[in-house]
Amino acid sequence: MKSLKIIHKIGLIVFTIGFFTFLSLFFLGQYQLDKNDLREVIGEETFPLVDEFASDIYDNKYNNQFAFISDFKSVLEQSNQEVKAKFEIKSDLAKEIANSIEGKAFQQSAIEKAIGEPSGEEEEWQLKQLKDYTGWMEGKEYESSEELTSQLENVIADVNKSIISQKGFSQNNINNKAFTITKQSEVGPVVQNPWLWLFLAIGIPIIGAIMYLLPKLKTEHAGIKNDGIFHSALKNRGWIGILLGTFLISFYVFLYWYPEYMTSWIVMVDPLSKMISGNPASQWFMYGFLYTLAILVMGVRMMIKYRHSPYQLIRTVSVMFFQLSFAFVIPEILVRLNQPYMDLKNMWPLDYTFFFDYRLNEMIEAGTIGLFMLGWGIALFAIGVPLFTYLYGKRWYCSWVCGCGGLAETLGDPYRQLSDKSLGAWKIERWLVHSVLVFVVVMTAGVLYTFFTGSSELLGINTYNIRAAYGFGIGAMFSGVIGTGFYPFMGNRVWCRFGCPLAAYLGLVQRFKSRFRITTNGGQCISCGNCSTYCEMGIDVRWYAQRGQNIIRSSCVGCGVCSSVCPRGVLNLENRDENGRFNQPSLIGNDSFGVQS
Amino acid sequence: MRNIVIIGNGISGVTAARHIRKHSEDNITIISAETEHFFSRTALMYIYMGHMKYESTKPYEDFFWKKNRIDLVYDYVEQIDFKNKNLQLKQSENMEYDVLVIAVGSKSNMFGWPGQDLEAVQGLYSYQDLESMEKYSPTTQNAVIVGGGLIGMEMGEMFHTRNIDVTFVVRENSFWNNVIPPEESEIINRHIRKHGFNLMLETEISEIIDDGNGRAKGVKLKDGGEMDAQFVGLTVGVSPNIDFLKDSELETNKGIKVNEYFETNQTDVYAIGDCAEFQEAPAEDRKPIEQVWYTGRMHGETLAQTICGNKTAYQPGVWFNSAKFLDIEYQTYGQVGNQPDEDTEVHFYWEHKKGEKSIRLIFHKEDKTLKGVNLMGVRYRHEVCDKMIRDNWPMKKVFQNLKKANFDPEFFKKHEDELVGMYNERYPNDVVKLSRKKILGVF
C-alpha cells in the first residue's frame, strides 16, 4: 500500500517532467533556411526574385522560430515590394488612354495605343490586365474625358491591387509558405532524433500518468471519490487551473492561426505520420495524435474513477474506441489508400465542411467509396439522428461516440463541476446554441446554392463570406479555443452546451420525440445537490429530483454521472415508453392529501 | 392578508412556506439564525469533503425567495409572546404574527459525560457545527466518534478524507443494529473496517479528557482504557431544539406537543419537523418524534394545507428511508425491524458473494403479503415498492414482478433472478418463471 502511494507520487513528478519537456520543445527548435528547400516551396519561376532577398539569411542559424519566421516573412514582403514596384501601372496612364480616344465611346485599342508595343514582361502583363479589367467598358460612352479618366484610374488601382496576389505572395500564401518552410528548416535536436523526443515529450508523460493512475485501483476503494475537488487549485479555478486554461487557449490559437510556430511538435510526429498514412505530418495530424492520446490516457483515469459503474466503464470504452479507430486511424488509412480523408462517425452539422465544394468534389471523384461516404454522411444525420435519439436519447452520440464529447468525458471530467447551473446560464444556452444551429443551416444552404448554381451571391450576400465567418467564429474560435480552452474555467462541455449545432439538433429530437428520460425515484431525494454540481451540461438536476419530476432536457448528454454521484439512488437514465414521460411532479410517501410538489 | 411567520429555514419550514405560497397571498416570513438562505443539511458533509461548495447545497437560487415573495430574516428568536402574538428577536425589532410555525429542528444529544462541553467536542447538525469541524481539523490527528449511527458515519467519512485517524466507539455489538437487521449491520461493520477505520463495538466512553487548555485531548473508556483524540464527535442521536421555549406557555415534552394537524396548545401556533412531538404516533410503525429529512418535508407539505384553509391531518404513507455508508447505499421501504420475527415474518435474504450488496424481502407469515424491503448496495424503485407494500401484494406476485422494482443503472448486474431462485427452491410447487431481457432494450 505504502509503495503504491509512492509510485502514485512519483508518477505525478514523472508526468510533470514529461509535460515540461513537451512544453520546452516549443522553444527548442533551431532553424536554417536551405536554398533548395526554398526553391522547391516557392517554385522555379518566382524563386530568383525571392532568392535575392533570402540570400542574406541562408547562412543564419536561428535559435528560435520567432526570429526565423519574422525574417522569412520579411523576405517575402520585400519580394512583394519589388514585384509591386516592377508591375505597378502609373495612374498618369489613365489620362493618356482617355486622350487617345476619338469620340465618346471607349475602345480597348486606345490602351494599346497609349502603351505602345509592350517591351518586356511587365508591360505585357500590364496590357493584358488592363484589357481584362476594361472588357466591360468596350463601346461604353462617356460624357467627358474627365469621367473616363476617373473610371480608368479606378481600373488601374484595381489592377495594381492584384499585383501581390498574382505575382507576389498574398497574406494567406505567406502563412502557408512560412509553415512549410519553417517545418523544413528545422535543424534542431528534434529533427535529428524525432523518436527520442517523442518518447521524452509524449512517452514519459504517459508513463507518469499511468504510474499516477493505476495505484488508485488499490489505494482507493471503488465508489464516488470527489474528495477535495473544491479545495483543488486545478479543479476549482485555482492557479493551476488558470495556467492550464491559458496553455490550452494558447495551444488552440497557435494551432488554428499560427501553426508555423509549433513545427517542433509537428516534426516530432513526422515519422509516425509517415508510418500510418505515408505523408509528413501536418498540424492536424499532430493535433489528432495528441487528442487521441488525451482521450485514451484520461479514459483510463475515467475508468478507474468510476469502476464501480458498468455504465461508465462501457461508455468510456466506447468513446476511446471511436476516437482511436474512427477519428484517428481509419481516416489516415483512407488517405494511404488514396481515398478521401473521412471520419465516418463525424456528421453534419458538427462536421460543417461536409457540404463544402471541395469535399463534395472529392467524394464524387472518388467513385463508389466516395459516393458511399456521401450517402453515409447524409444518412447519419437524416436517419441516424432521429432514429437513435428516439430510442436512446442524444447520449447515443454525445457521450458514447462523438469526439468532442469523448474529450469532454475524459480529459474534461475533472472540470465537470465548473459548469454554471443558474437559470440565467440556461437562458443564454438556449439562445446561443439554437442560433448556431440556424447559422450552420443558412451557411450550408448558401454553400450548396453556390455549388449547384455556380453563383456566389445569395440574397446579396457572398456565400464564401458566410462560410468564412462560420469557420472562424464557430469552427475555430468557439469549438476549439473556447470549447476546450475553457475547460478549467467553465467546465468541460462549454462547446457542447452553448455552441454545438449538432447537439442542438439532437436535443430538439430528444426533447420532443424520444423514449429517453432521467427518472427520479419517488420521494427519496434529499436535495443534497451532488447531481446538479456534477452535471457537466449545467442542468439543475436537483430542481427536478426534489419535486419528483422526470428530467427531460434537450441538453442532457446522458453521461450518467448524476446517477453515479447520487448518494440515495434517486436518479436513473432510462429508455421507456413515451407515455408518462412528462410526468406530473409528485413525491411518494405522504398520504395526507394528493401532494403536487 | 395574514402574517405567517416561520421560525427555522430547514426542509420543514421551507417546504411549508413554498406550499403556503402555492395556495395563498399571505405575507410569509422565514426567520433563521443559522444561515441566510435555505441549504440542504444532508449535504454538510460534502462541503467539508470538497465535493461541493456551500453555494451548491442551496436547493433554490437566491432570487427564488424574492420572486415568490418569501421574506427571509437572518436573526435569532429569543422569546415568543404567545398572548400578544409577538416575537422578540436578537437584533431586529419585535415581529408580530398571525400564524406562527415553529420548525426549529434538533440539537445533538449529550448524555452528561464529564468533559462534554470542552472545545472540539460536538455533534454534526448545523452549519456552525461544520465550521467548527473545519476549525479543529488542522490540529486533529485522531478523532473519536461516539455512537454508531448515520451522523457518526458521516463524520467518520469526513475526517477520513483529511487523513485523520478515526475510531468509532459504539455501545451496541454491531453498527446501527438497533435499526437494521444483523446481516446488514455486519456488512457495514466489514465495510467500515475495510476502509481503515477503527471500529470498537460494545464500548462506551466514561469521560472526555481536557488537554489543560479547555480542549479535548482524549477519551476514557468505561472498561478503563484511554485513547488520544483531539476531536470527539458525539453522534448519539438528536433531540428537539426547544430550550428557548421551555419556560413558555407552549406545551412541550421532549418536543413541542402537537396533534395530527400540527396544532400546539397555543392558537395559531404550529410545530413541524424534528422539533414536533405527536401526542399519538402518526401510525402504528411510526414514532412520536420523526427526525428524518423526508418526514420534515411531509410535515411542511401537510401543514401548508391546513394553514391555507384545507384542514388536513398528517397521514404518512408507507415508510421509506435511505442513507449511504461510505460506498454502500442503503434503502428501505415498509417495515423492516432490526430483529427478524420468525413467528410473524418470512424473510428472503440474499447477499452478494463479495459482501457489499444485499436484498431482503420480508413478508407477513400469515397472508404472505409484502411487509418490507431492505437494500444494501442495490437501488430499488420507490414507486414499485410503495405499491407492492400498500396494495398487499402476495409473495408470488412480488417475485414475478421483482425485476420491475430494480432501479440500478443500465448494465449493472441484476440479482433478482437469484432471489426468484430462492423462492422457487422454497416453494417448488408454485414456481415463478423468468422473463427474457430485450436485446439493446428494443427487440
For residue range A62-81, what is the model confidence (pLDDT) as tens digits?
999 999 999 999 999 999 99
Q: How much of chain A is helix, strand and coil, in % rounded to 5?
A: 65, 5, 30
Cα-to-chain-centroid distance, residue B31:
23
pLDDT score for B69: 97
The secondary structure of residue B214, as a DSSP letter, is S
Whether residue B382 and residue A232 make contact (CB cut-off 8 A), yes or no, is no
- Contact: A593, B293; criterion CB under 8 Å: no
Alpha-carbon distance values, A113 to A103, A104, A110, A578, B164 (Å):
15, 17, 5, 82, 98
Mean pLDDT, rounded, for A274-278: 91
The reply to whether B116 falls in a domain is: no
Specify whether the CB–CB gap between B269 and B320 falls below 8 A.
Answer: no
Contact by Cβ (8 Å): A44, A233:
no
Facing residue for A523 by CB, picked from B294, B408, B410: B294
Question: Residue B329 domain-assigned?
Answer: yes
DSSP lists the bridge partners of residue B263 as: B270
Q: What is the CA radius of gyration of chain A?
A: 30
Q: How far apart are CA B181 and CA A132, in angstroms?
A: 96
Cβ A589–B379 below 8 Å, yes or no?
no
Question: Which chain B residue lies closest to A541 (C-alpha atoms)?
Answer: B59
Q: Tell which phi-psi region holds residue B165, choosing left (phi > 0), alpha (psi between -120 and 50) or beta.
A: beta
Nearest to B329 among A568, A575, A590 (CB): A568
Check: CB of residue B354 under 8 Å from CB of residue B316. no
**Cell digits of residue A358:** 471541395
Contacts of B56 in chain A (CB under 8 A): 421, 529, 532-533
Cross-chain Cβ contact B302/A592 below 8 Å: yes
All residues of chain A having their beta carbon less than 8 Å from the beta carbon of residue B49 are: 226-228
Of B6, B10, B3, B5, nearest to B273 by C-alpha is: B10
Place of cell 462517425: A345
Range of the domain at B285: 3-107+239-307
Chain B residue whose CA is closest to A525: B294
Subunit contact B50:A423, Cβ cutoff 8 A: no
Residues B328 and B351 in one domain: yes
Q: How far is CA B8 from CA A25, A333, B82, in A?
A: 61, 67, 17
d(Cα A74, Cα A178) in Å, to the nearest integer? 11
Angstrom distance (rounded) from CA B332 to CA B375: 6
For residue B59, list chain A residues with Cβ-Cβ distance below 8 A: 527, 529, 542-543, 546
Cell numbers 446481516 correspond to what residue?
Answer: B183
CB contacts of A586 in chain B (<8 Å) are: none
Are B379 and A575 within 8 A, CB to CB?
no
The answer to whether the CB atoms of B320 and A572 lie below 8 A apart is: no
**Which residues are A228's β-sheet partners?**
none
Mean of all residue pLDDT scores within chain B: 96
The residue in chain B having the minimum alpha-carbon distance to the alpha carbon of residue A540 is B59
Hey, of B192, B314, B319, B322, which one would you mutate to test binding to chain A, going by the most A CBs within 10 A of its CB? B322
Q: Which residues pair with A365 in a beta bridge?
A: none
Beta bridge partners of B406: B380
Domain membership of residue B313 (yes or no) is no
Contacts of B333 in chain A (CB under 8 A): none
Cβ–Cβ below 8 Å for A311 and B409:
yes
Nearest CA of chain A to the CA of B236: how many Å?
Answer: 22
Nearest residue, CB atoms, B410 vs list A311, A422, A591: A311
Domain match, B69 and B12 both = yes
Contact state of B51 with A226 under an 8 Å Cβ cutoff: yes
Closest C-alpha among A451, A495, A490 to residue A474: A495
Q: How far is A384 from chain B (nearest CA, A)?
A: 16
Cα separation of A564 and B415, whole Å?
A: 19
Judge: A546–B314 Cβ closer than 8 Å, yes or no: no
For A345, phi then psi, to 5°, come to: -105, -5
User: Would B191 be classed as within a structural domain?
Assistant: yes
Residue A278, amino acid: G
DSSP A179-245: HHHHHHHB-SHHHH-HHHHHIIIIIHHHHHHHHHHTTHHHHS-SS---TTGGG-TTTTT-HHHHHHH
The three cell numbers locating residue A120:
518586356
* Grid-cell match 415581529, residue found: B95
**With an 8 Å Cβ cutoff, are B381 and A521 in contact?**
yes
Q: Which residues contact B433 (CB under 8 A, 6 or more apart)?
A: none
For the cut 70, the answer to whether the pLDDT of residue A201 exceeds it is: yes
B236, B262, B287 - which closes a domain: B236
Amino acid at A258: Y
User: What is the dihedral angle through the alpha carbons of A266, A269, A271, A274, rounded to the nearest 10 degrees?
Assistant: -80
- B100 and B81 belong to one structural domain: yes
**What does the radius of gyration of chain B's CA atoms come to, in whole angstroms?**
24
Alpha helices in A88-203 (DSSP H): 92-99, 109-115, 120-134, 145-167, 171-185, 189-192, 194-198
Specify whether the CB–CB gap between B10 and B241 falls below 8 A. no
- Tell me whether residues B407 and A564 touch, CB distance under 8 A: no
**Which residues in chain B touch residue A307, judged by CB atoms under 8 angstroms apart?**
none
CA distance B315 to chain A (A): 5
B142-190 pLDDT, tens digit per residue, is 999 999 899 999 999 999 999 999 999 999 999 999 999 999 999 999 9
Q: What percent of chain A has pLDDT over 70?
A: 99
A99 pLDDT band, cuts 50/70/90, is: confident
CB B37 within 8 Å of CB B70: no
Residue B396's CATH number:
3.30.390
Q: What is the pLDDT of residues A424-440, one digit of tens each?
A: 999 999 999 999 999 99
Kindly state whether residues B152 and B231 are assigned to the same domain: yes
CA–CA dist B289, B210 (Å, integer): 34
Decide if pLDDT at A597 tops 70.
Answer: no
pLDDT of residue A595: 54
Contact A533 B58 (CB under 8 A): no
**Partner-chain contact A530 B317, CB within 8 Å:** no
Contacts for B362-369 with beta carbons within 8 Å, 24 or more apart? B362/B334, B362/B335, B362/B336, B363/B395, B363/B398, B367/B392, B367/B394, B368/B394, B368/B395, B369/B393, B369/B394, B369/B395
Phi, psi of A398 (to 5 degrees): -65, -35
Q: Is the pLDDT of residue A462 over 90?
A: no
On whether both B248 and B214 belong to a single domain, the answer is no
Q: How far apart are CA B65 and CA B37, in angstroms?
A: 9
At residue A124, the pLDDT reads: 87
Q: Tens digit of pLDDT for each residue in B254-275?
A: 999 999 999 999 999 999 999 9
- Pick the residue from chain A with its C-alpha nearest to B320: A589
Are B32 and B318 in contact by the 8 Å Cβ rule? The answer is: no
Contact: A588, B407; criterion CB under 8 Å: no
* φ, ψ of residue B106 in degrees (nearest 5): -120, 175
* Banded pLDDT at A373 (limits 50, 70, 90): very high
**Co-location of B125 and B187 in the same domain:** yes
Q: Note whether residue B231 is domain-resident.
A: yes
CB proximity list for A304: less than 8 A, separation 6 or greater: A213, A214, A216, A217
The residues that bridge with B3 in the sheet, in sequence order, are B27
Residues B169 and B81 occupy one common structural domain: no
pLDDT score of A596? 53
The answer to the question of residue B23 being in a domain is yes
> In B57-181, which ranges are continuous DSSP H helix?
63-67, 127-136, 150-160
Looking at the domain assignment, is residue B219 inside a domain?
Answer: yes
pLDDT: which is higher, A144 or B436: A144
B32 and B99 belong to one structural domain: yes
Please answer yes or no on whether A528 and B320 come within 8 Å at the CB atom.
Answer: no
> Over 70: is that where the pLDDT of B132 sits?
yes
Q: What angle do CA A57, A58, A63 make, to 5 degrees?
A: 70
Output the pLDDT for position A583: 85
Cβ atoms of B382 and B313 within 8 Å: the answer is: no
Q: Are strands B142-146 and B231-234 parallel, antiparallel or unpaired?
A: parallel
We report the CATH number of the domain holding residue B290 as 3.50.50.60
Nearest CA in chain A to B19: A597
Instruction: Read off the pLDDT of residues A504-538 as tens digits, 9 standing for 90 and up.
Output: 999 999 999 999 999 999 999 999 999 999 999 99
Residues counted in chain A: 597
Number of compact structural domains in chain B: 3
The last residue of one of the domains, among B252, B279, B307, is B307
The pLDDT of residue A123 is 85
Which of the residues A232, A309, A592 would you substitute to probe the B interface, choosing the one with the greatest number of B C-beta atoms within 10 Å? A592
pLDDT on residue A97: 85
CA dist A134 and A140 (Å) reads: 10
Domain boundary at B185, B208, B236, which? B236
Residues of A in contact with B293 (CB under 8 A): 526
For residue B442, pLDDT over 80 is answered with no
Interchain CB distance below 8 Å, B412 and A311? yes
pLDDT at A120: 82
Taking each helix axis from N to C end, the angle separating A501-512 and A423-453, rounded to the nearest 10 degrees, works out to: 110
DSSP letters, B72-96, are EEE--EEEEETTTTEEEESSS--EE
- B41 lies in the same domain as B138: no
Contacts of B313 in chain A (CB under 8 A): 592
- Is B184 found in the same domain as B80? no
Q: What average pLDDT does the segment A6-34 reach?
A: 95
Chain B CB contacts of A313 under 8 Å are 411
**Pairwise CB contact (< 8 Å): B195 & A572:** no
Q: What are phi and psi of A527, to 5 degrees?
A: 55, 25
The rounded distance, in Å, linking the Cα atoms of A187 and A61 is 9
Closest partner residue to B298 among A221, A528, A589, by Cβ? A589
In this structure, how many other beta carbons lie within 10 angstroms of the beta carbon of residue A103? 8
Residue B72 C-alpha cell reads as 427571509
Q: Do A423 and B11 touch (CB under 8 A)?
A: no
B369 - beta bridge partners?
B394
SS3 A514: coil
pLDDT in tens, A583-594: 888 889 999 887
The minimum CA-CA distance between B407 and chain A, rounded to whole Å, is: 7
Is B30 in the same domain as B174? no
Region A566-576 average pLDDT: 96
pLDDT, tens digit, for every residue of B305-362? 999 999 999 999 999 999 999 999 999 999 999 999 999 999 999 999 999 999 999 9
Residue B360 lies in a domain: yes
**So what's the ipTM on this one?**
0.95
Contact (Cβ atoms closer than 8 angstroms) between residue B342 and residue B323: no
pLDDT at position B210: 97
pLDDT in the model for residue A132: 87
Residue B434 predicted with pLDDT over 80: no
Specify whether B353 is located in the same domain as B437. Answer: yes
Nearest CA distance, B246 vs chain A (angstrom): 30
Q: What residues form DSSP beta bridges with A186?
A: A31
Residues A468-486 have a mean pLDDT of 94
The nearest CA of chain B is from the CA of A205 a distance in Å of: 27
Model confidence band, residue A559 (pLDDT cutoffs 50, 70, 90): very high
Inter-chain residue contact A229 with B50, CB threshold 8 Å: yes
